[in-house]
A = this chain, B = another copy of it.
Amino acid sequence: MTAGTVADGTRSRLLATALTLFSEHGVEGTSLQMIAAELGVTKAAVYYHFKTKDEITEAVAAPALRELDAVIDEALAQRSRGAQIDHALAGFADLVVQHRALVALFNSDPGIMRAIDRSLSGNENLMTRLMTILVGPEPDFADRITVHVVLVGLAMAGGAVEYRDIDDDTLRGQLIEVGRKLLGRRRKRAPANQNS
């Protein structure tokens, strides 16, 4: 094991710890000192990886945003409009479910959104690209409201504490169903059993 992999391990433990503390105390209510104490390291060890809390906040959110970017690229690679919508919707629902703790934090703590708005200027672009896939390049007001309700509604429901005990597949399936209804995509039929 090299020094690099040790540092990488600390870095990801640090981000996981930061997410937990952010969820418990909010971004504003969490200090670098608290993160260091929870990890059992010195504040200097935290500073080795991140100079400010904003950098940590950004790094906590970055993997999910990168995955969303990849989902959008994959969706755009689909041939038909329908397949693009389906891919983007399923990918978005999947990300919401996979990153529930982060999504819950987005939903409840304006601090993390402000930190991300400040630092990731590509973020708005991400949402514009997603909207273009879901309702086309020239959305009217009805389209914009629909996409707004789909994205925010799925994120808020997916991150909601009342569904914490619902398993990933069930939650993802239901989020996709709601999104399909709103986007006017037909309900996917259960695969028919050819032998019955």
Contact residues of A with B, CB < 8 Å?
A: 26, 108-110, 141-142, 144-146, 148-150, 152-154, 156-157, 160, 162-163, 166, 170-171, 174-175, 177-178, 181-182, 184
- Residues of chain B within 8 A (CB-CB) of A171 are 145
Q: How far is the CA of A184 from the CA of B184 in the complex (A)?
A: 11
Alpha-carbon separation in the docked complex, A15 to B184 (Å): 42
For residue A66, give the distance in angstroms from its CB to the closest CB of chain B: 25
| Chain B residue contacts of A153, Cβ below 8 A | 148-150, 152-153, 156
Interface CB pairs A-B, < 8 A, 10:
A141-B174, A145-B163, A145-B171, A145-B178, A148-B156, A148-B160, A149-B154, A149-B178, A181-B182, A181-B184
Nearest CB of B to A59, in Å: 23
A148 vs B154: C-alpha distance when bound (angstroms): 9
**Copies of this subunit:** 2
Closest 8 CB pairs of A and B: A153-B153, A149-B153, A152-B156, A148-B157, A145-B174, A149-B178, A108-B110, A149-B157
- Give the complex CA separation of A109 and B160 in angstroms: 16
Q: Which residue among A146, A153, A157 has the maximum number of chain B CB atoms within 10 Å of its CB?
A: A153
- What residues of chain B lie closer than 8 Å to A144, measured between beta carbons? 162-163
- A160 to B174 Cα, complex, angstroms: 25
A109 vs B108: C-alpha distance in the bound complex, in angstroms?
8
Q: How far is the CB of A109 from chain B (nearest CB, A)?
A: 7
> Once the chains are docked, how many angstroms separate the CA of A15 from the CA of B77?
53
Q: Does B110 lie within 8 Å of A146, measured CB to CB?
A: no
Task: Please name the residue on chain B nearest to A108 by beta carbon.
Answer: B110
Set of chain B residues within 8 Å of A156, measured between Cβ atoms: 148-149, 152-153, 156
Instruction: Identify which of B110, B141, B150, B162 contacts A166 (C-beta below 8 A).
Output: B141
